[in-house]
Amino acid sequence: MLLFGLLALAVQAQVPANDDCANAIVVTAGVAVDFNTLEATTDGPFHPNSPCPSAVNDTLFRDVWYTYTATFDGLLDFSLCNTANFDTKIAVYKPGTTCPAQDGDLLTCNDDGVACGNTSRVIFSVQNGQTYLLRLGGYGATAPGEAGPGTFMLSQFTPVLANDFCDQAQVITVGDNQPFTSVDATTDGPTHPGNSTCFGFNDPTLQSDIWYSFTAPTSGSVLWSTCNEVSFDSRLAVYQGGATCPLLDSDLWACNDDGSGCSNYTSKVFFNVAQGQTYLLRLGGFGGDQGSGTFDLTLSDPPPPPSNDQCADAPDVSLVTAAMADDFDGITEGTTSDGTFDPNNYLFPNAQCFGTNTAGGEFSDVWYRFNTLGNPEIELRFYSAGDNTGSFYAELFNACDMQVDTAAITGSCVFVTPTTTYATTLIGNLPLVPTIYLMRVTTRLTTQLPGDFFFFLVADVTSPAEEVHHDFPGTYEVFPNPTGDKLYLNLMLDESVGTIVKVLNTFGQTLISEDKGNLLAGDHQLDFNVSGLAAGVYFLQLHSEKGVGTVRFVKD
């Protein structure tokens, strides 16, 4: 701080001579330049979609201006890194830009340089003889913004890595085990502050990034993966076909931070391509992580997600008795492997299990639905399957977009890990009338691995109440049970009755109804096409004016 204090005394706060764009001062490389923006005004343009956003109406407050004419072809380092005592921002405008500069003239910019705290650094390509307009100001969500004294330096930059910068992207084709290193790479790609899925945990970019250029040989899906192939916390980003450097946040096509089934925070991303289109691929690390390893780039379709990947496709789950659960009868099985994830509509697991760390990450979840049948309490017994390494959060929802009130519905969440492969909870304070709930099972891919599981919902009442409490006049049985596409009913009537046959799910909803008319006393064999039913537990009901009969069956 002594250095900055001396600078403040040496450079008296006054309106700078280069306060306006039209009065930009000529600077050269290799010479430290002192500045003080305390009395500067703001006359530069807004950049709402810049590579370095910090506010909706984004600009550099209390700006001062410089021009630089390149004396070489290559990279120029414009750095205030740790040489100013306020939160700086810098911008570079394209050669030929005239004052007043426009948003479309922006070449590149930076808010907070890597390892620079709140000060700035940007490295960009220059051409010998071309003149670039440089703008230096302060961060701010609103005026007047940050300001103060400092120094900056322009210098020629020689990258350690050939593909360190976007416009030097290495051309690659499909193939496995392609070697790379990001050690000593700088960071020049855009930030993605609105994407907590790939760029969460207070790091909105890929640090120490390297670049590749990939032209799709055919249309379809491509897998890019460092999954279990590197020893650092990798991140991957793909930018849309035809995008050019410098890239914007809006050019992002696909990305991944922590891939499904990938250990140690490694990554994989599927993205769609069109034949002949060229895509820019960016590989970096979280929080400044660097490293070496290999990656795969293959023509590959993503694996199909589980059938209950979406809330709307949640299957019905039957309640079972404690004796059945003790005997592992009536298992409901599932997996979070290969699930999809919609970051725009995702609700983090409730704090009862998950805590309060909602700063980002990717998730895989599947859904189930069940009817309480009026039970005031239901026990959830949840198991990680076999030698599974997966971790799971299981919790209740009133609707796809509404978690239950955990203060009202107690015990509505459990957490299972590879070291604690079984958990149970007593879900209490349930309504005394039959109520439908959803159950979501989630794996947080950022810190855990997906996998297989099974569970039981244990209750005293496990069948829907019959509509009529009189016996059906006869005997009956169904076969085979479990059944496939066709279910047979053997029926022995004691007397002639009008008969309606219904198939109900565990919610008591009628799925099939057939009026068989008046059936005479004696033996009857009826058959029903149940191929359209999902696998699960169902009830066949016989309705007549004399009474109702119910028999349970299982559809494979």
What is the DSSP annotation of 303-351?
PPPPTT-SGGGPPEE--B-HHHHHTT-S-EEEE-TT----GGGPPPPPH
pLDDT tens sequence across 527-542: 999 999 988 888 899 9
- Give this prediction's pTM: 0.59
Neighbours of 468 (CB within 10 A): 14
Spatial distance between the Cα atoms of 285 and 232, rounded to a whole number of angstroms: 7
Mean pLDDT of 11-30: 89
Q: Report the pLDDT averaged over residues 266-276.
A: 95
Say whether 474-555 and 166-299 share the same fold: no
Q: Where are the alpha helices (DSSP H) in 104-212?
A: none
Residue type (1 letter), 540? L
Q: How many Cβ atoms are within 10 Å of 37's Cβ, its own excluded?
A: 27
Q: What is the pLDDT of residues 325-361, one digit of tens each?
A: 999 999 999 999 988 888 777 888 877 776 656 656 7
| Percentage of the chain modeled with pLDDT above 70 | 94
- CATH entry 2.60.120.380 includes domain 2-157: yes
Spelled out in words, what is the top-level CATH class assigned to the domain 474-555? mainly beta
Residue-level pLDDT at 406: 86
Rounded-to-integer distance, Cα 125 and Cα 43, Å: 26
Q: What is the pLDDT of residue 268?
A: 94
pLDDT for position 11: 44
Q: Domain 311-458 class?
A: mainly beta
Scanning 165-285, the segments in alpha helix (DSSP H) are none
40 falls in which pLDDT band (50, 70, 90)?
A: very high
Q: What pairing do the DSSP bridges indicate for beta strands 234-239 and 278-285?
A: antiparallel
Separation of CA 368 from chain center: 21
Between CA 345 and CA 389 the distance in angstroms is: 27
What is the Cα 52 distance to its own chain's centre? 22
> Where are the chain's structural domains?
2-157, 166-299, 311-458, 474-555
Give residues with Cβ within 8 angstroms of 25, minimum separation 6. 17, 18, 65, 66, 67
pLDDT at 395 over 50: yes
Structure tokens at 524: 């009857």
Q: What is the pLDDT of residues 400-415, one digit of tens each?
A: 888 898 888 999 888 8
Highest mean pLDDT among 114-118, 284-288, 314-318, 387-391: 314-318
Residue 73 is encoded by which pair of tokens? Answer: 């072809």
- Report the percent of the chain where pLDDT is more than 90: 60
CATH architecture of 166-299: Sandwich (2.60)
Interstrand relation of 170-172 and 207-215 (parallel, antiparallel or unpaired)? parallel
Does the pLDDT at position 49 exceed 80?
no
Q: Model confidence at 440, in pLDDT bands (50, 70, 90)?
A: very high
Give the model's confidence band at 22: pLDDT under 50 very low, under 70 low, under 90 confident, else very high: very high
Select the more confidently predicted residue: 315 or 54. 315
Q: What is the DSSP string of 145-166?
A: ----EEEEEEEEE--SSTT-SG
Dig out the tokens for 413 from the structure.
Answer: 């969440």
DSSP-derived pairing of the beta strands 436-444 and 363-371? antiparallel
Assign 459 to helix, strand or coil.
Answer: coil
Q: What is the mean pLDDT of the chain?
A: 89
The dihedral through the CA atoms of 167, 172, 174, 178 has a sign that is negative
pLDDT 10s digits, 137-170: 999 888 889 999 999 999 999 888 999 999 999 9
Bridge partners of 107, per DSSP, are none
Distance CA 201, CA 199 (A): 7
The predicted model gives 116-136 an average pLDDT of 94
